[in-house]
Amino acid sequence: MNEDIISTNYPVSFKDKGYDFLKEIIKNNNYSKIFLHVDENTKKCCLDYFLKHLNNLKIIEIESISGEENKNINSCLKLWQEISEKGGDRSSLLINLGGGVVTDMGGFVASTFKRGIDYVNIPTTLLSMVDASVGSKTGIDFGVLKNQIGTFYDPKLVIIDPNYLDTLPEKEKLSGYAEVFKHSLISNNHIFNQLIKSNNIFIDSKVIHDSISVKNNIVIKDKFEKKERKSLNYGHTLGHAIESFLLNSNKKLLHGEAIAIGIILATFLSYKLYDFSKKNLELIKNHLKNLFGNTNFEPKEIEKIIDLLKHDKKNSHGKVNFILLKEIGKPVYDVEIGKDLILESFDFYLS
C-alpha cells in the first residue's frame, strides 16, 4: 500500500484508503447534491468499478465528450447548465472521474460555479494520475491555444487507483509516460537511470507514487509558479506549441507525444547553452524516439510552431521563456532563446 501524499491543502490518497477518505468527506460535509463527471469512455470503463467502492452513493451523473478538442468553454457551458438544472448549489460536490480533460475542465467548472464548490479528482489515465489531477491547476483551451483560461483551485481529495489503467489504451499510457519521464529529468538521476535502463514504459504503483511525489514537492514549494514550479514545464514550451499546431490536422498528437518531442528539443537547447551532458542528451533522444517514434516537420510547419510560441503562458513582457537543465535535477528558469537555436533543435530532433 502506498502512503498518502499530502499536497498544499488536500491528500492524494491511494486505492481503498482513498475511497474511505471520500466516504468520510461526504459524511462530514452534508452535501446537497453529488455530481459525478465522466466522459463516454470513463462512463463505460470506470463508472461501475468506482460505484462499487462507494456502496449506494446517490450521485447525479453528468457527462462531457472526450477529447482535447472538447476541453473548451462550450463543454463548460453544458456542464454548468446541467449542474444548475439538476439542483446544484453552493453546497454541492463535483467528483471528476476521468483523464486530464475531465479533471482540468471539471476542476474549472467547480472553481467557477457559484464562485466555487468542492470537488474531488479520481484520475483514470496515467497522465492525469501523475500530473493533471495533482497541483490544483484547472483550465480549458481557448481556440487551439492550450490551457489559456483557468484557475488555481484545490480539490478536497485526489484518489489514485492504478486499477483504472487496466482499460486504458497503450497509446494513452505512453502519453502519460512522457510526464513520468519529465519528472525524472527534473528530479534526480536515480529515477532517470531506472527508466532509461528499462528501455520500455515501466509503470507500477511505486513509479506512480514517486512521480506524483516529484510534482507535489515542487508544487508545495511554489504553488503559483513564481519559480520552482516552472520546472514542471520542461519540454512544454515547444511541446504545447507542437500540440496546438497539430490539434486539427491529420498529424494530431496526444499531449504526451507532443511533450516527448518538446523534451528532446529542450534537452538539445540545454546541451547548447548549459553544457547538459551530451551522453544523456543522446540517451534521452534514443529512449523517447524508440518509444514514441518520429514525427516529421516541414520547414514551413516549424515556422508556424515558432509563431505559436508567443501565446505560451510562461511568456511575459513579449519574451518567450524556456525552462532548461544544467544537468538532471538542476533546472534553469526563464531562458530566452533565439529563433536560430530553435531551428537547430528541430534539426537535431529530425536527424
Ligand X SMILES: NC(=O)c1ccc[n+]([C@@H]2O[C@H](COP(=O)([O-])OP(=O)(O)OC[C@H]3O[C@@H](n4cnc5c(N)ncnc54)[C@H](O)[C@@H]3O)[C@@H](O)[C@H]2O)c1
Q: Which of 71, 182, 183, 215 is catalytic?
A: 215
Q: Can you tell me which of 63, 82, 131, 154 binds ligand X, judged by CB under 6 A?
A: 131
Q: Can you tell me which of 42, 184, 216, 280 binds ligand X, judged by CB under 6 A?
A: 42
CB-CB contact of 242 with 342 (8 Å):
no
Q: Mask: binding to ligand X, 152-171, rule CB under 6 A, as x and -? A: ------------x--xx---
Per the annotation, the verdict on 179 as an active-site residue is yes
Q: Can you tell me which of 63, 82, 104, 225 binds ligand X, judged by CB under 6 A?
A: 104
Decide: is 135 part of the binding site for ligand X (CB under 6 A): yes
Minimum separation from the CB atom of position 229 to ligand X (A): 10
Minimum separation from the CB atom of position 295 to ligand X (A): 17
Q: Which of 2, 121, 216, 233 is catalytic?
A: 233
Minimum separation from the CB atom of position 340 to ligand X (A): 29
CB-CB contact of 291 with 177 (8 Å):
yes
How far apart are the C-alpha atoms of 118 and 299, rounded to whole Å? 47
Q: Give the DSSP letter string of 254-279.
A: -HHHHHHHHHHHHHHHHHHHH---HH
Task: Spell out the residues 6+ positions from residue 302 whose beta carbon is closer than 8 angstroms to its own.
Answer: 343, 346
185 three-class SS: helix
| Closest residue by beta carbon to ligand X | 100
First vs last Cα of the chain: how many Å apart?
44
Which residues inside 174-203 make contact with ligand X, applying CB under 6 A? 175
CB-CB contact of 125 with 46 (8 Å):
no
Q: Mask: binding to ligand X, 309-348, rule CB under 6 A, as x and -? A: ----------------------------------------
Task: Spell out the residues 6+ positions from residue 79 whose beta carbon is closer than 8 angstroms to its own.
Answer: 37, 62, 64, 105, 106, 109
Per the annotation, the verdict on 90 as an active-site residue is no
Decide: is 128 part of the binding site for ligand X (CB under 6 A): yes
Select from 124, 122, 120, 112 the least CA-distant residue to 73.
Answer: 112
Binding site for ligand X (CB under 6 A): 39, 41-42, 45-46, 66, 68, 71, 98-102, 104, 124-125, 127-128, 131-132, 135, 137, 146-147, 164, 167-168, 172, 175, 255
